[in-house]
Amino acid sequence: MNNLFNEIVGQHTAKLILNNAIAQNQISSAYLFTSTVEGVGKTKTARLFADYICSTTDMLEVRPQEDNSTIGVEQIRETIAFLSTSPIEGDRKIVIIHDCDRITLNAANALLKILETPGKGIFILITSQAQNILPTIKSRCQIIPFAQLPIDELKTILENHKIYLHQDILELCLGSPGRAIAFHSLLNSIPESILDQLQVPPKNVITALEVSNWTSKQDKSTQALLLTYLETRWWEKTKKTGLLAFFTTAREQFQCHVSPRNVWDNLLLR
C-alpha cells in the first residue's frame, strides 16, 4: 500500500489522504481531484488508485467529446448503464471523469442523481477549473488537492524523461510537469528558421507573415503555449509594457473564436 503512489513525485497531501483511505478501508463514493494547473499528476494518481480498487474491466473513463469539448447527458446515461451491471472481477466499479468542469448542465444534473445513490460505483472527477463545478456536485465529493510542484521536483520528473529546460522556460511551467513536457515538445517542433525569428518581435511584414502562416496552422494548445512563450521572451528582450496589451487582446480574440490567422496577423503585424 505504501508503495502504491511511489511513481508520483510530490503531491504529498493527495497521497496521504488516499493512502489513509485505503489503510482504514474507508474509500469514499466520490472524489474530486483538483489543481490550479494541468499536468501535475491528477490523472496518473487517479488511475493508480483505480487500479488498486478494481480491474480495468470494471473501470470506465469519460472525456469531453471531440466535436464540442463537452461532456453531454448521453455520456452520463452510458455511465448509468455501466454502473447498472455487476462488477466482473471485484465488488466495485470506478468511473473516472476527465475535465469534469466541461460537463453540460443537463449532464451535471444527471450526474448529481448518480452521486446521491452511487451503489457499487466509485467516482473520480478530475479538473483544473474547480470553480466551474456545481456546488452540489462538489459537496458530494471528497476534495483531493494537487499542488504545483517546486522547481526541484519538477526537474526530477523532467530528468527522468531526459528533458532539460532552461530556467526561464521552467518558470513558465507553473510547477506543472505536463506543461513542461508540452513546452519541450513545442520548442522541438518549431522549425529552426521560425524559432530564430520568434526571439524578438518581427521587424518587417514578410517575416511577420511567414511566422503567422506557420503558427496559425498549429493546434489550439500549441498556439496557447506559444503565446505564453512569446510574451515572456519578447518582454525580456524589449521591456515594452505595450506588448502585454497586444497579448491580452490576442487571448481575448481566441476566446471569441476569431480566426487564428487573423489573431496572429494582428499580433505580429503591429
Mean of per-residue pLDDT scores for the chain: 90
**What is the rounded end-to-end Cα distance, in angstroms, of the chain?**
58
Q: How confident is the model at residue 2 (pLDDT cuts 50, 70, 90)?
A: low
Q: How confident is the model at residue 244 (pLDDT cuts 50, 70, 90)?
A: confident
What pLDDT, on a 0 to 100 scale, did the predictor assign at position 145?
97
Q: Which residue has the higher pLDDT, 21 or 118?
A: 21
What pLDDT, on a 0 to 100 scale, did the predictor assign at position 50?
95
d(CA 264, CA 261): 5
- Give the CB-side neighbour count of residue 202, counting CA atoms within 13 A: 19
β-strands 142-145, 121-127 pairing: unpaired
> Would the CA dihedral through 99, 7, 52, 20 be positive or negative?
negative
pTM: 0.80
Domain edges within the chain: 12-145, 151-268
Give the mean model confidence (pLDDT) for residues 10-25: 93
Q: Do residues 46 and 33 make contact, with C-beta atoms less than 8 angstroms apart?
A: yes
User: What SS3 state is found at 191?
Assistant: coil
Could you name the CATH architecture of 12-145? 3-Layer(aba) Sandwich (3.40)
Checking if the pLDDT of 262 tops 60, the result is: yes
What pLDDT, on a 0 to 100 scale, did the predictor assign at position 4?
86
pLDDT in tens, 151-176: 888 888 888 888 888 887 888 888 99
Q: Which residue has the higher pLDDT, 172 or 115?
A: 115
Q: Cα 259–261–266 angle (5° rounding)?
A: 100
pLDDT in tens, 175-217: 998 888 888 888 888 888 888 888 888 888 988 898 899 889 9
Q: Do residues 97 and 124 make contact, with C-beta atoms less than 8 angstroms apart?
A: yes
